[in-house]
Structure 1
């Protein structure tokens, strides 16, 4: 290689490193703002439904609608990104969420529960965009730091999760000033947040990380390639299969246990502030430690880190399943460990999925993964109450353990079969 070639390669590497940093910074900012919007609306979603539904039996349908909306949007946004890049895909998700926020306000003004439910379907697209942003962080990242890049973007949602629900009072003030129902003010804040997030992505996520990554691959010397796999065959690749099973089951049990544990401990008659503090520990576990798990995944490998995350989840089932019907240190610790296990699996599984799928089908498989994960969340949310009502809260934790066991077995087999490859992704 000539001196000129060496200088050009060094400049290109420097430009790529700067683009990686800029991409992650842009995604972090958009995630913080959009996270505020998503959490603000979800914070009052059930209260709004209770005022509009006219029947207690309909309350809860709004969250199911938003979850299914997120699941559908995940596939659509992935297809948009596949054709036009991450920037347009993320913008489409946040703008669709904004449309949902407007419909929710209109439902409140018209006192129409069904308009509100339709609004929540569209609102779910913003949550889907937030999930897809983690994949965007990994588009340009190197294998050595992909886990940290994905984890840092996930960590940014912590700020939104904490700040969003605390805006309820300000939202009521704004709504009263505009002559609107009080709870609709939170959806106005959500609308503003989604518009800002879409603007941040549209202005600063340039060049598009996905398109830049494709261009970088095109510039590299051609290498022998294995036979291309159709999308369904691609999903069956060992690393992709492990990721899909781990991500979907981990999200299912997290959603199911999160809601039912709060109901379980609230039966003691503890003050809402104490119950809220316990729940905040769970939220902290879900995203506050994700950079740590990203670092671990980069250091010891994806499959081994997945085993660690799944064992954390299993530990939480034991803690929660044997906890007393009260606010206790054991229940609080169980919720914290539940969040930590979910975070570890989310970070590691997302990275492993991206690394296990060929470039041609990566976007579509990522969209399928999020769709499956969110559908499982809807099943967990709907089914957990039935299980607790008929079999009790400890039984729910036993079922959660059974649901996670296949992922743990798969991850353990991968680590045992390929110990040397445990330091890197499995393809």
Structure 2
């Protein structure tokens, strides 16, 4: 394929990914706020509320590698569509869970919604399949950025959910998850119908890979991911960056809705707080992508670390002031954006191209597994101590990444 045609396919791919990402992330965005509040209502237990977030992130972790392998075998189109549709089923399952206060459908639905998180992450890597190395950060950041619309709307689905409830008799949360399920189903349909040609298959063809060899490689997908980390220092640094940012962000965000309501905040205040946090995560993504491409991944990650530290200090020092908590959550989102976008772009640049999809699925799965662990631990930790103590623990988690970024950059062999 000539360069002009390749660029045309890349532009078309970015448009399709952008539109589907908006719809899909509306559904994904409902889990961190309404999903947690629903779990607390159904179980009447703060620790179980944390487990609700664990269910969605655990679902993303369990499905990351299978969806990556599906992409490697059949292309991004099939994998992305399948992931969005599975998440849509999860959203629809949460309608009766909310309506009839059912525990098993609650956690099953949230587990399946995790597929949406996994596929949303895969979409950002799909944006880099045909991008040149000096534009990977910007291409990846564009898909992260357009998700702002959906992920800001998602936590506020309680408002239209209440309208649907008034008209139909559905519980407010049931109405919210009904909208979420429909949005993710539309995302899958858009990808399935429109993503032709498939960017990963075009990239594979350009690199003259033998299709018959793919299944054999994918059976070693997990092993290949481990080998990549062991032999590839920049990839290892990128993974540590992604995982550190995910653990800190999820741990704090998971418990913020409960913390806010326990200090007199309303459901509406929770929605606004999480929306501002998510806005911080995604709104500046194009700027972050440009900075990463222009000034280098390590420097961009260092900026994210500084913002993370500021966020934790603000939240730890002013835990009961809702204005400061909002500020802390906004900074948390911006710090995550710098580290995650830069780390992901670095990873997409330095990994073995022949193992691209399955290895990317591996890092997404590991990221979500770490996020699930953080969410699981955050509930009991805050119940036994305080929100301030949670920020201290989050700061400790960042220390290895600080060392790799500031003290030993040469060992990481990151040239950009």
TM-score by length of 2: 0.87
**Structure 2 equivalent of residue 257 of structure 1:** 252
**Structure 1 equivalent of residue 356 of structure 2:** 362
Structure 1 contact 40–189 (Cα < 8 Å) conserved: no
**Structure 2 equivalent of residue 224 of structure 1:** none
Query: Equivalent residue of 1:138, what SS?
Result: coil
Q: Deviations over 1:255-290 (max 9, x none)?
A: 112244555566654666666544443222111111
| Larger-Rg structure | 1
Does 2:282 align with 1:292? no
Structure 2 contact 301–343 (Cα < 8 Å) conserved: yes
**Structure 1 equivalent of residue 276 of structure 2:** 281
Select 1:25's aligned residue among 5, 15, 22. Answer: 15
- 1:184-195 to structure 2, matched below 5 A, reads 184-195=174-185
Gaps of 5+ in 2: 210-222
- 1:336-415 to structure 2, matched below 5 A, reads 336-412=330-406, 415=409
Gaps of 5+ in 1: 1-8, 220-228
- 1:302-313 to structure 2, matched below 5 A, reads 302-313=297-308
CA distance in 2, matches of 1:320, 1:415: 29
- 1:9-408 to structure 2, matched below 5 A, reads 12-40=2-30, 43-53=33-43, 58-108=48-98, 111-174=101-164, 177=167, 180-218=170-208, 230-236=224-230, 237-261=232-256, 269=264, 277-323=272-318, 325-329=320-324, 331-408=325-402
**Structure 2 equivalent of residue 225 of structure 1:** none
- Larger deviation, residues 183-192 vs 236-245: 183-192
CA distance in 2, matches of 1:287, 1:231: 27
- Cα 1:258–1:44 change in 2 (3 A) is closer
Structure 2 contact 31–53 (Cα < 8 Å) conserved: no
- Cα 1:94–1:230 change in 2 (3 A) is closer
- Cα 1:349–1:340 change in 2 (3 A) is same
- Larger deviation, residues 307-316 vs 337-346: 307-316
- Cα 1:283–1:365 change in 2 (3 A) is same
CA distance in 1, matches of 2:315, 2:197: 46
- Larger deviation, residues 241-250 vs 394-403: 394-403
What RMSD over aligned residues (CA atoms) do the two structures have, in Å?
A: 2.7
CA distance in 2, matches of 1:21, 1:129: 20
Following superposition, the deviation at residue 324 of structure 1 comes to 5.2
Q: Deviations over 1:186-230 (max 9, x none)?
A: 2221221122111110122111111111112229xxxxxxxxx94
Following superposition, the deviation at residue 53 of structure 1 comes to 3.8
Query: Equivalent residue of 1:422, what SS?
Result: coil
Following superposition, the deviation at residue 54 of structure 1 comes to 6.8
Query: Equivalent residue of 1:203, what SS?
Result: helix
Following superposition, the deviation at residue 357 of structure 1 comes to 1.4
CA distance in 2, matches of 1:379, 1:399: 14
Q: Deviations over 1:69-123 (max 9, x none)?
A: 1111111111101111111111110111122123223434565321232122112
Following superposition, the deviation at residue 50 of structure 1 comes to 4.4
- Cα 1:205–1:107 change in 2 (3 A) is same
CA distance in 1, matches of 2:159, 2:388: 37
Query: Equivalent residue of 1:139, what SS?
Result: coil
- Cα 1:391–1:169 change in 2 (3 A) is closer
Structure 2 contact 317–388 (Cα < 8 Å) conserved: yes
Query: Equivalent residue of 2:381, what SS?
Result: helix
CA distance in 2, matches of 1:13, 1:413: 41
CA distance in 2, matches of 1:49, 1:278: 19
Structure 1 contact 268–326 (Cα < 8 Å) conserved: no
Structure 1 contact 101–187 (Cα < 8 Å) conserved: yes
- Number of equivalent positions: 402
Structure 2 contact 56–113 (Cα < 8 Å) conserved: yes
